[in-house]
Structure 1
Amino acid sequence: MGSSATPSTAASAPGRRKVALYLALLTLQYGAQPLISKRFVRQEVIVTTLVLSIEVAKVICAVILLVAEGSLKKQFNNWSITRSLTASGLPAAIYALQNSLLQISYKNLDSLTFSILNQTKLLFTAFFTYLILGQKQSPKQIFALTLLIAAAVLLSIGESSSKGSGGGNSDYILLYGIIPVTVASVLSGLASSLCQWASQVKKHTSYMMTIEMSFIGSMCLLASTSQSPDGEAIRKHGFFHEWTLLTVVPVLMNAVGGILVGLVTTYAGGGFVIVSALLVTALLQFIFDGKPPSLYCLIALPLVMTSIFIYQKYPYAIRLFLPSWYCYYFLNPLPYQAIRLFLPSWHCYYFLNPLPYQAIRLFLPSWHCYYFLNPLPCQVCTTELSLTEISVMTIPPRLQ
């Protein structure tokens, strides 16, 4: 057992460096995206052309990564249109609409206000994952979501009142800034929950889901141009109306960011990224626009950061009382030959061949099914185990 620890330890160092690189890149992308979109995309640029370009760029990035992995042929050999539409159809249409709303909001809110309001998607993700997947929230997570709501309300009031007192049109800011980003957050929560369901139940890989959703979303947008004002503008002025070379920068950043999100959430949590990105946004806004955060932003920013920290730190926990031998298996998973001495034959089968939820649930209690469908690294074994701490080494029955 000692010899097996050495290769894994050696392999973990490059893995940690890779995760750190992904985190740093995604933090910069999250933090800089609102500011760059606001500065590099002209007000007259047609929103649908931006979103379509982002979706095409996402497909290209995902295909390049699949080719680099050497799994492109295998993925497309296993692909079917029915499975694709079932898993990716609805999330794709939702994300296409969400991206259009975000592009509208980018132009009408300052970068920091947009970034903070955009984090309300955490609230709606929690709501929809409970409805769709039955994933509960701990009392501390509910408190964190309450802080998030308070920050969003505070910012909405502050943004409208400041624009009104400064001679701006507060109704315009509400209709074309605050409402679009809020609706986009609702749609993001719904789409994220549907994607989580697809990855768990349909066993879809993140790259294939990116390709499918981008393609289906693009088809939905193209279909909408037959009747929409954007479609009329494209036919009248052309697809790249008011585009410049700099417009390509936020398009590519958005596409790469979509890929990075999938990689970061695979290897690490996203709480650090969001908190750091908010600080990056505030810093860049001050450096490039010379605009310090408003009083409302200064109050809302720590509320959002605290909310995200609490939400990530205190997941829903299930209380279990475990004997010492149990903890040993959590921290020192034994080979299959040793485990099978303690487990009935059907249990060993699931360790090596996890079956779909419908089959597993015939034998296992409900909490056990949840861990099968949400495999996360097992790091800690205590008398109070959270859903993020017990999963890969599924809970065995008592010794036979």
Structure 2
Amino acid sequence: MASPQLKYASLGVLVFQTTSLVLTMRYSRTLQSDGPRYLASSAVVLAEVMKIAACVLLVLNEHSYSMRALNSILRQEILNKPIETLKLAIPSGIYTLQNNLLYVALSNLDAATYQVTYQLKILTTALFSVSMLGRKLGMYQWISLLILMAGVALVQWPSDSAATSQEASSASSQFVGVVAVLVACCSSGFAGVYFEKILKESKQSVWIRNIQLGMFGLVFGTFGMLLYDGQKVWESGMLQGYNTITWAVVLLQALGGLVIAAVIKYADNILKGFATSISIILSTLISYFWLQDFVPTSIFFIGAILVIAATFLYGYESKSAASTSRA
């Protein structure tokens, strides 16, 4: 059992990673600069490169930094098991789509609205878990999912302000952002459950699995970048518009999943609920006071409170069920 200090350190890491990625990504997509804006597709590709490098270092660390052992395990687990490796192509392609959609979402939504709406991934993950893994949900979990949907609906409720051309344009932009988040939630739920199913069916290291995911992600991401931004890459290069903030976004996106995977075993569902709640609150405050792209309404607050409550209720039920099954 992890110590309380380790649990709360995990909570801090989760809050920092979740909040900083959303806010820096939103800031980077709205920052006015003289040159061209950086290409989101290239940021996704570079994040995959960094993720692969980080996982290779972790595998090296597990084998006392022996290059011979690294070559042996990569050949044995990846090249000699092509069918097992190919299984990762499906979730990898979906994750690549999801990562690109997050840039679209945060180019059109403020960080607070994005954070709350993206919690619908709890719903999609639960539904895919029931259908693909045969998992059973408790009564409180089903209630929490209904509360979650109600909360997100309230957050998206249109304001009563007068309609102007600027507001109409903003509404159109918000619609694009919401659609991007909804598709990302569906892809996140399916890919996450599919990946969990693969992990349970094999004994491979999670870092090896992430290397396999990263390899396919690099291929899919590069194809997408050349397909949608090939002309821009040819004219100005992959790194056009990059600055310190952009590199911070790439680094956070690359290491975010690995950090969460490393700390999730120390943080139970209640603490993950705390992390989500604190992240939503911080995103709201920073969006209002610093980014100044968000004006909260009473309906938004009610919706956010419902989403936070649903997150706690869902996590509490999961913890109770796990405790009962271990008894």
Partner Cα distance (2:221, 2:300) in 1: 34
Partner Cα distance (2:273, 2:180) in 1: 24
Matched, 1:110 2:110: yes
Give the aligned partner of residue 231 of structure 1: 230
Matched, 1:29 2:17: yes
Within-5 A mapping of 1:70-89: 70=63, 73=69, 75-76=73-74, 78-81=76-79, 82-89=82-89
Q: 2:278 aligns with which of 276, 299, 319?
A: 276
Give the aligned partner of residue 93 of structure 2: 93
Q: Report if aligned partners of 1:31, 1:280 keep a CA contact under 8 Å in 2.
A: yes
Residue 222 of structure 1 aligns with an amino acid whose one-letter code is T
Partner Cα distance (1:257, 1:286) in 2: 25
Partner Cα distance (1:71, 1:267) in 2: 24
Identical-residue share of aligned pairs (%): 23
Partner Cα distance (1:71, 1:20) in 2: 29
Give the aligned partner of residue 203 of structure 2: 203
Higher relative contact order (CA 8 A, sep 6+): 2
Q: 2:43 aligns with which of 50, 68, 72?
A: 50
Partner Cα distance (2:15, 2:163) in 1: 33
Residue 89 of structure 1 aligns with an amino acid whose one-letter code is A
Partner Cα distance (1:57, 1:389) in 2: 40
Report deviation, 1:387. 3.8
Partner Cα distance (1:294, 1:57) in 2: 39
Q: Report if aligned partners of 1:47, 1:230 keep a CA contact under 8 Å in 2.
A: no
What CA deviation, in whole Å up to 9, does each residue of 1:243-277 have, x standing for no partner? Answer: 22221011111222111221233332332321221
Give the aligned partner of residue 314 of structure 1: 317
Partner Cα distance (1:86, 1:22) in 2: 33
Return closer, same or farther for 1:23/1:191 CA change in 2, 3 Å cut-off. Answer: same
Q: Give 3-state SS (helix, strand or coil) of 2:325's partner.
A: coil
Within-5 A mapping of 1:255-334: 255-269=254-268, 270-290=272-292, 291-315=294-318
Q: Report if aligned partners of 1:120, 1:148 keep a CA contact under 8 Å in 2.
A: yes
Q: CA RMSD in A?
A: 2.6
Partner Cα distance (2:194, 2:304) in 1: 29
Matched, 1:186 2:186: yes
> Please, which runs of 5 or more residues in structure 2 have no aligned partner?
none
Partner Cα distance (1:66, 1:45) in 2: 32
Return closer, same or farther for 1:130/1:211 CA change in 2, 3 Å cut-off. Answer: same
What CA deviation, in whole Å up to 9, does each residue of 1:268-291 have, x standing for no partner? Answer: 233232122112212322342245
Report deviation, 1:162. 6.3
TM score, norm. by length of structure 2: 0.85
Give the aligned partner of residue 151 of structure 1: 151
What CA deviation, in whole Å up to 9, does each residue of 1:212-261 have, x standing for no partner? Answer: 112211101222344x2222322233211222222101111122211122
Partner Cα distance (2:205, 2:277) in 1: 27
Report deviation, 1:185. 0.6
Give the aligned partner of residue 54 of structure 2: 61
Matched positions, count: 310
Q: Report if aligned partners of 2:50, 2:254 keep a CA contact under 8 Å in 1.
A: yes
Return closer, same or farther for 1:87/1:229 CA change in 2, 3 Å cut-off. Answer: closer
Partner Cα distance (1:296, 1:234) in 2: 43
Residue 19 of structure 2 aligns with an amino acid whose one-letter code is G
Matched, 1:219 2:219: yes
Report deviation, 1:20. 2.6
Q: 1:386 aligns with which of 308, 312, 321?
A: 321
Return closer, same or farther for 1:70/1:273 CA change in 2, 3 Å cut-off. Answer: farther
Q: Give 3-state SS (helix, strand or coil) of 1:203's partner.
A: coil
Return closer, same or farther for 1:170/1:86 CA change in 2, 3 Å cut-off. Answer: same
Partner Cα distance (2:187, 2:176) in 1: 17
Partner Cα distance (2:279, 2:287) in 1: 12
Residue 183 of structure 1 aligns with an amino acid whose one-letter code is V
What CA deviation, in whole Å up to 9, does each residue of 1:1-58 have, x standing for no partner? Answer: xxxxxxx8xxx54xx4334323211211212222211213458321210111111122
Give 1 or 2 for the bigger CA radius of gyration. 1
Partner Cα distance (2:22, 2:193) in 1: 24
